[in-house]
Structure 1
């Protein structure tokens, strides 16, 4: 070991200044609440409570190629995704979660030594935090244009910014996280008419009424990202993918990590697409539970719900302190997504769980409402 050299002093500026993303594991949460892990109802991460399809589970259990490197470019899976989306498989890139693809997209356009590339990345908060994260990782300039109180984009501000004709990257989620609303078709069309490379993140789109993936055939400035984490119940295996303009594919293939999607993940995702009726039956169960939960929660006087088309409900809490609601939930072991120290500190996001989990949320909130009335 080299003596007298403290290498942490030489960290790059980006790494030294960035915040860590490390949610507490369930064991830590349970210990904090004085409970066992099995007593918790985890509804804070938009996970699929029913897990993978039967075919995917069979593929996972039967996987036996542990000693072999996987297909480095996921050929079979890309072909199956192409069939699923009705797009050319040659335009599909698979990643270790869609997070990897977000990173690759930003990396692809990062200026080198101040030369070339794209200077600015647009994002529209409140939204998924990884757009901001990977922009910072790649030392690019983030321009945030906040959404309005209904979580709609401020198109007038976006169009003013883009009037200089400079090309920019633009990340927009549909349905958006945290509110769960789809991007209106007219808004997407207006974005695509600007000098923007629009990255449309459809992580939750299987729970919604429409996708914009067909537009990738008409617009060469549109990328659509998707994932198997939510609808397919494969969050632990990290499989994301995107549909890209043809002229970007070769560059993406050059910069991606080799063997970036492991063999088990490829097998499970492929099996999911080979049994779409089974996987989609689970999606329909979640949608049915979401609508049931919505009808119940709309009767509570202290909640204002947004019209979600994802696998969660987003609520503004009025009339009672958020710590009161959180304390009541955590006393029952119910873990929801809160937003302290932010503009959303009076809001909560509730992942749709199993029927019994959703019942527990409803009972606790109803009791809280009754206490407030008394």
Structure 2
């Protein structure tokens, strides 16, 4: 077959790169270092690194789930397109109607799905604005911008508390419906949304999306309230408490009225067969999974107490599996050099958060290694 070739000096009919949506200019690539890249940068073997930067479960999945993963053989089969068995198990775990549960490829996909669900249509309907309360999970703003929604940022006050008056004033000036994304516990500080805050915000003209990615470490879920409030959505994940971050399994519990539209909009086969099996296995092995959560919580309290012995750290009380610390009296770079010299990776920030460091709660041995490194500062 003859191959068609464009003449060397031919002018293309248009430049595709010039047609990329301008909203992309507001976004930044998200590509954290891999373990191999970290090791190369630090001049250490990968096995010597202690990774305490991504809020991962240091113990991994339950033993039952690991056995299932190691022996899994159904890779040639498509997954259940709507995760029926997993949704039933989630419904039993949370005591909610499984018909109101949607499982996603991590909770990120569900954030994206919610934006697509409410994105204004030329045919009518939709929500045009998202309220984001930074510092918080960056994907709320990311997906809002990606869907051409206007992101209204309401920065948190001192102590990472919500600026309720500012949110209420915005809604009073212009009562158009908005999407309000909140994490409880919040990332990066680990504090819960209070009952008083919830009660004031849920009465506003908003669809509240409550991200409970870390709630298993706090035992303070509001998922049952999704049956009471038609404007409340709760997101959860298996990434943190269940040790399945690499498999990407999240889920949302939605008001019943939204379900017909969600089932039409959800991508088919969005949760792979291995991820569904691992999440289901975790829920069938709750005793071990919850024992691991209790272990992490106990280590969190021990680590917080030890960190408070350092005069250069101010530790914020956390209900998650991480601790946020403000560094004072010494340079944050001095702290970073001290811990990275020993292969310990923490989470650092820029801008208004440049003096803060977030520490994932590791195993007892990993936490002790961190304390030893900090004593050298």
Normalising by structure 1, we get a TM-score of 0.96
C-alpha distance in 1 between matches for 2:152 and 2:305: 37
SS at match of 1:147: coil
Quick check: 1:64 aligned with 2:59? no
C-alpha distance in 1 between matches for 2:82 and 2:219: 31
Flag the 1:47–1:4 CA change in 2: closer, same or farther, 3 A. farther
- Give the CA deviation at 1:10: 2.3
Quick check: 1:176 aligned with 2:186? yes
C-alpha distance in 1 between matches for 2:42 and 2:66: 32
Quick check: 1:273 aligned with 2:260? no
SS at match of 2:179: strand
What is the aligned residue count? 367
Aligned pairs for 1:156-167 (under 5 A) are 156-163=165-172, 164-167=174-177
C-alpha distance in 1 between matches for 2:310 and 2:25: 45
Contact 2:26 2:145 in 1 (8 A): no
Structure 2 residue corresponding to 1:103, chosen from 102, 112, 136: 112
Q: Deviations over 1:154-205 (max 9, x none)?
A: 1111111111321110000000000000110110111111111000000000
Partner of 1:82 in structure 2? 91
Partner of 2:34 in structure 1? 25
C-alpha distance in 1 between matches for 2:123 and 2:214: 36
C-alpha distance in 2 between matches for 1:365 and 1:217: 47
Partner of 1:371 in structure 2? none
SS at match of 1:90: helix
RMSD: 1.3
Normalising by structure 2, we get a TM-score of 0.95
C-alpha distance in 1 between matches for 2:306 and 2:185: 22
Quick check: 1:153 aligned with 2:166? no
Q: Deviations over 1:97-155 (max 9, x none)?
A: 00000000011111124943111100100000000100011010000101111111111
Structure 1 residue corresponding to 2:322, chosen from 293, 312, 330: 312
- Give the CA deviation at 1:58: 1.9
Partner of 2:237 in structure 1? 227
C-alpha distance in 2 between matches for 1:85 and 1:147: 30
- Give the CA deviation at 1:17: 4.5
C-alpha distance in 2 between matches for 1:143 and 1:15: 17
Quick check: 1:198 aligned with 2:205? no
Could you list the runs of 5+ residues in structure 1 that have no partner in the other structure?
369-374
- Give the CA deviation at 1:28: 1.0
- Give the CA deviation at 1:352: 0.6
Could you list the runs of 5+ residues in structure 2 that have no partner in the other structure?
none
Contact 2:178 2:205 in 1 (8 A): yes
Partner of 1:44 in structure 2? 53
Q: Deviations over 1:273-319 (max 9, x none)?
A: 00100101111111111111011011111111111000000001111
Flag the 1:4–1:23 CA change in 2: closer, same or farther, 3 A. farther
- Give the CA deviation at 1:12: 2.0
Structure 1 residue corresponding to 2:260, chosen from 228, 247, 250: 250
Flag the 1:200–1:17 CA change in 2: closer, same or farther, 3 A. closer
